[in-house]
Structure 1
């Protein structure tokens, strides 16, 4: 029987919750089914695949915007993917993703991202690993050796400082590829809840009184350095002295806290002020991306490559396959669809697979490396321009879902 794939209704919540509990573990008391009011207010887009035995597979979609190439890009974040163990390998997941991503396109999402438990499953669906969200342990005693900042001090933030915290995050995120903008639920939270979630939020303030960084932290239990861990959700600095000021403030806990467990990604500039990198990765969460709409994702990007012209094609993915010519005029990329069959395109233009398109768009790999990985074929004449069009921004993600 071909399963029925549809949106989850509230009456499906007991089975939906049970299946999620099987996949991700449940507290001793068992999984909690949300009330109808909680479920209606969540804003999630939940999907299920049903067969004769009921719910076989499920997933959840978050609609948000993420920063790529200086713009907030509509993104479908996929989470909570689960298939009943007895029905794995039956094609339920592909059908489920097909329906959920079709709806995402209809709603204007041009990208989809997820944190995979097993990347190989999602590569077959066109997703590729572009970075990682990691929890990194930093010995607090090392922070005492960070150079003193010049002209930057720290102070505790309150709800009146919420806009300043948001502005720092936005300035930082806008020059990266990948961060969730935190402009939509569930990543946007009211000021009162934001501050209630932490032991403290520390601001870095320059001599002119401008907020140039912040750290949000939970102190942790205990006062024995060998066993006590402080958790840092964000440490974002817009200047090196802001980074120094924040690190040194956290370091003042070193007599009672041994480790700062920092949520981070890539090599953030804030880490460049540390005297050494004697750190360890406590947990790593690979982050995957899939382009849903070629023209929507690649068109309208700011570019200094005025006059550039690159024909290319995308193969092997429903909704993506086709041939285009990308040009840069007036500082912006433009895409025109070409009447060229994809199977013939490799004779005249570079051809990307869906995984290669994701890696290129994110600036995670050069065209040369995509060829090494088998994600780019055809003539190499345009490789340097393809690389330059999408490179130049670090990949960072700071929100897990």
Structure 2
């Protein structure tokens, strides 16, 4: 087998489109090959593994920022991974990822994320599941029992409110780990298109006139509660009363719509105001993360643990393997690489796999659980600091790619 991995050019688009259609299905009539202008404007970074002149495997990289530890982190989002059926299992994915992630790292992207169809494939490459993007069905009759909001009114948003909507999302996202910032393509949407995509965007406004929440929704067809379904892309609230007001507004459709299908993740605080948990997960999409640059991702993180010192090591991948010491000074983390052989590191410091590093960085698992899962070995002396440095934020993701 002689495989060449290289960026995909426009002349490769017919094969690239065909392979994607076979992997992910196509609408009736097929998916058209993009024009050169469309392909250039999209700005995708596409890679292919070629067997001679034939495209055997492909992937796409989106460059964007996502929120971790209160900062926007440069992220390589991987999507559209596909291998020709006759060549599956032949080892094309690893070199394809190696090339794409090397380019991402050289471009300054410090983490990579993806939505897997089969997590086991990507675990071998250092990715680990940190959360899930879910579509959850909520009976609208249940929302009628949400207590009335105090000091909040709701109103329909217009294009003039776009900056306020963006501001609410940004304030919410900065308090989480994982959300896409929506500041770059393909997640940034022009105001006119954003509002055109929805039946309505409802705002929650406090007594000072500030927007403290919003819900974007598509009404859907029909007026029989047993069959009618509305879709809610975002329900973001910065206060409990904003959440109550938005839920009650959706619930006001209960005489003609039976269910709201809400895009959410984790235990969002907006759901804590609901009187019960009468809901059902319609679809779950696990979200995986891989660290690309240890110093770039773990350095510069704000921390209240002034003076803390954390020696640790990473094993198992050539690009991440090594020993490090993290310190907290002037309210942020600093990293220095240590001249310690990995076989000796476990005597004095915790040793993480690449998967464990991803989980710790995202705050998705404790050191105790990482040891149970086999992703943390070595001396346990520093486990408490390891967990504390990156704790304090929930993992949430609200944009699928």
Question: Normalized against structure 2, the TM-score is what?
Answer: 0.99
Between 59-68 and 29-38, report the one with greater CA deviation. 29-38
Q: Tell me the equivalent position of 1:178.
A: 178
SS in 1 for 2:178: coil
SS in 1 for 2:370: helix
Matched, 1:228 2:228: yes
- For structure 2, list consecutive stretches of 5 or more residues without a partner in the other structure: none
Matched, 1:118 2:125: no
SS in 2 for 1:175: coil
| 2-structure distance, mates of 1:348, 1:210 | 52
SS in 2 for 1:344: helix
SS in 1 for 2:336: strand
Contact 2:4 2:52 in 1 (8 A): no
| 1-structure distance, mates of 2:200, 2:193 | 12
Deviation at 1:343, TM superposition (A): 2.2
Q: Deviations over 1:159-187 (max 9, x none)?
A: 00000000000000000000000000010
Q: Tell me the equivalent position of 1:28.
A: 28
Q: How does 1:107-186 map to 2 (within 5 A)?
A: 107-186=107-186
Deviation at 1:33, TM superposition (A): 0.6
Q: Tell me the equivalent position of 2:43.
A: 43
Contact 2:200 2:218 in 1 (8 A): yes
Q: Deviations over 1:217-262 (max 9, x none)?
A: 0000111100111000000000000000000000110000000000
Q: Deviations over 1:338-383 (max 9, x none)?
A: 0111122112211000000000000000001000000000000000
Q: Tell me the equivalent position of 1:254.
A: 254
SS in 1 for 2:275: coil
| 2-structure distance, mates of 1:33, 1:220 | 30
Q: Tell me the equivalent position of 2:237.
A: 237
Q: How does 1:290-305 map to 2 (within 5 A)?
A: 290-305=290-305
| 2-structure distance, mates of 1:293, 1:239 | 36
Runs of 4+ in structure 1 over 2 Å off: none
| 2-structure distance, mates of 1:172, 1:296 | 24
| 2-structure distance, mates of 1:114, 1:354 | 15
| 1-structure distance, mates of 2:313, 2:91 | 28
| 2-structure distance, mates of 1:161, 1:390 | 35
Deviation at 1:267, TM superposition (A): 0.5
Q: Tell me the equivalent position of 2:326.
A: 326
Q: Give the aligned CA root-mean-square deviation in angstroms.
A: 0.6
Between 111-120 and 1-10, report the one with greater CA deviation. 1-10
Matched, 1:82 2:119: no
Contact 2:300 2:332 in 1 (8 A): yes
| 2-structure distance, mates of 1:207, 1:332 | 37
Aligned positions, number: 401
Q: Deviations over 1:273-331 (max 9, x none)?
A: 00001100000000000000000000001101111101000001121001000000111
| 2-structure distance, mates of 1:346, 1:267 | 35
Deviation at 1:53, TM superposition (A): 5.9
Question: Normalized against structure 1, the TM-score is what?
Answer: 0.99
Contact 2:156 2:201 in 1 (8 A): yes
SS in 2 for 1:395: coil
Q: Tell me the equivalent position of 2:277.
A: 277
| 2-structure distance, mates of 1:154, 1:2 | 62
- For structure 1, list consecutive stretches of 5 or more residues without a partner in the other structure: none
Q: Tell me the equivalent position of 2:17.
A: 17
SS in 1 for 2:146: coil
| 2-structure distance, mates of 1:116, 1:106 | 24
SS in 1 for 2:30: coil
Q: Tell me the equivalent position of 1:363.
A: 363
Deviation at 1:43, TM superposition (A): 1.2
SS in 1 for 2:225: coil
Q: Tell me the equivalent position of 2:350.
A: 350
| 2-structure distance, mates of 1:27, 1:162 | 32
| 2-structure distance, mates of 1:240, 1:368 | 33
